[in-house]
Structure 1
Amino acid sequence: MKSINSPKSLASWLHFLGLSLKSKQIQYHKINCITVLFSFLYFFSLFPLSGEGNSPSNSPLPDSEQILFITAKPGETTGSLDFYALTEGEWTPILEKIPVRLGRSGLINGVEKREGDGHTPSGIFPLKRIVGKQKRQIRNLEYNEIRKNSHWSDSPSSKNYNQLIPYREKGAVSLWDSYIYELFFVIEHNTKPAVPGFGSMIFLHPWNEDKPTSGCVGVSKEILETIVSKLDGSKNPSFFIQILD
């Protein structure tokens, strides 16, 4: 059985099931196409769920009407980003095949991610928080404006491990001086609760360098601004990060 590795193959599987991304019969049968996708992925155990829960009921995907797909082959440090939204019963692309940089060790199943291993975790993660230096209002999403003393702890020994904190702390990373923190989306890997040593500071952030990240997903600032302009927290946006066959 082949895995679903892109929105286009999602459409193929739904067609096989007698549904269509461009048809409202999904609603008539009371089946959300994302629920179909999630059920398929979970049933065949293509990857473990990560982030804030590890059961189907806790996964954000079934209710998502905006999804950021990030995909890459095993061991690859480059991948693609596709942004799809459900509008009036039809899945439509907002962004497609945008190149992204991944961690220096490539993608890994989220449950296997460890601090400092250079991997980007795969899995399903809710998109709930955006952080940046400018004043912004983002529809129905939490936005944190950082200050000069804003830090993020990546020290497993800290009680604030993998948390945004408004003060300096030993082992914490300053968010003020680097361009990669001018605007970033929190990928909710190992956040609630944060298990010491299981990975921290996993973001979708600006990246202008021709090399891998330390474990985040890097993309141009312009693409991030486009995504921000289209996001709506009431649509339960999610990250879907998958390793391709």
Structure 2
Amino acid sequence: MVQKRILVTRAPGEQSKGLVHLSNGVRPCALGGSGLGVLKREGDGLTPLGVFPLRQLLYRDDRVMRPRTLIPVHAIRASDGWSDDSDDRNYNRMIALPSPRSAETLKREDHLYDLVLVMGYNDCPRVRGRGSAVFIHLARPEYTPTEGCIALSKRDFLALLREVGPGTRIEVRG
């Protein structure tokens, strides 16, 4: 079976802006503030290069309707977090908040995580310090840089979501 790939490339002349190549056109996206790279480390601001599966879709059920998709879906709860502490045994995994360890809150005040695709980066196997919480999420105005994720407008995120399913891979290429 041929697996579908969605290509993400760096926009010409831009370090932290990219392009998502969909079947019905190319869409702008934000990338990590440090650009693209292979040797990602926790907190370095790089969006990792490579080919990654999509693990699940997270969404805010108080802000958006449950998206229709064939990949696993999880409504974000107030207690949902993502461990970014390299010394935590649950590093780069969803955890329950509050946590005595460093963790990112998934139910944010802003709208960046209203829709989130969890990419299978550094999760099988997990390597401590190689980066965590690499997601595809909603973009800030003007597509300002991310911490290492890929960010799209809501309209473009939904267009991407219509093209993904079980077995879809995201290919991030320089």
CA distance in 2: counterparts of 1:209 and 1:158, whole angstroms: 33
- Look up the match of 2:114: 182
Give the superposition deviation at 1:139. 3.7
Higher-strand-fraction structure: 2
Which residue pairs with 1:78 in the alignment? 17
Deviations 1:19-67 (A, max 9, x none): xxxxxxxxxxxxxxxxxxxxxxxxxxxxxxxxxxxxxxxxxxx731x32
* 1:131 partnered with 2:64: no
Name the CA distance, whole Å, in 1 between partners of 2:141 and 2:41. Answer: 24
Contact 1:129 1:144 in 2 (8 A): yes
User: Alignment partner of 1:128: what SS?
Assistant: strand
Structure 2 partner of 1:195: 127
Q: Contact 1:127/1:186 (CA < 8 Å) preserved in 2?
A: yes
User: How far did residue 137 of structure 1 move?
Assistant: 5.7
Equivalent in the alignment of 1:23: none
Q: Which residue does the alignment assign to 1:3?
A: none
Q: What is the rounded CA distance, in whole Å, between the counterparts of 1:238 and 1:223 in structure 2?
A: 17
Which residue of the partner structure matches residue 42 of structure 1? none
Task: In structure 1, list runs of 5 or more residues that go unmatched.
Answer: 1-61, 84-92
Note the 1:1-245 alignment, pairs <5 A. 63-64=2-3, 66-72=4-10, 76-83=15-22, 93-94=23-24, 96-109=25-38, 112-134=39-61, 136=66, 138-169=68-99, 170-177=101-108, 178-210=110-142, 211-233=144-166, 236-243=167-174
- Which amino acid in 1 is paired with 2:5? I
Gaps (5+ residues) in structure 2?
A: none
Distance in 2 (alpha carbons) for counterparts of 1:104 and 1:218: 12
Question: Does the CA-based 8 Å contact 1:75-1:105 persist in structure 2?
Answer: no
Query: Which has the larger share of helix?
Result: 1
Local SS of the residue matching 2:8: strand
Q: How many residue pairs get matched?
A: 167
Amino acid at match of 1:242: R
| Percent of residue pairs identical | 29
Q: Tell me which stretches of 4 or more aligned residues in structure 1 moved more than 4 Å.
A: none
Q: Please state how far the C-alpha of 1:74 moved relative to its aligned partner.
A: 8.4
**Relative contact order, higher structure (CA 8 A, sep 6+):** 2
- RMSD of aligned Cα (Å): 1.9
Name the SS for the 1:63 alignment partner. Answer: coil
What is the CA–CA distance in structure 2 between the aligned matches of 1:219 and 1:146, rounded to whole Å?
19
After superposition, the Cα gap between the structure-2 partners of 1:79 and 1:196, relative to the gap in structure 1 and judged at 3 Å, is same
Q: Report how far residue 79 of structure 1 moved.
A: 1.2
Q: What TM-score results when the alignment is normalised by the length of structure 2?
A: 0.87
1:225 aligned counterpart, secondary structure? helix
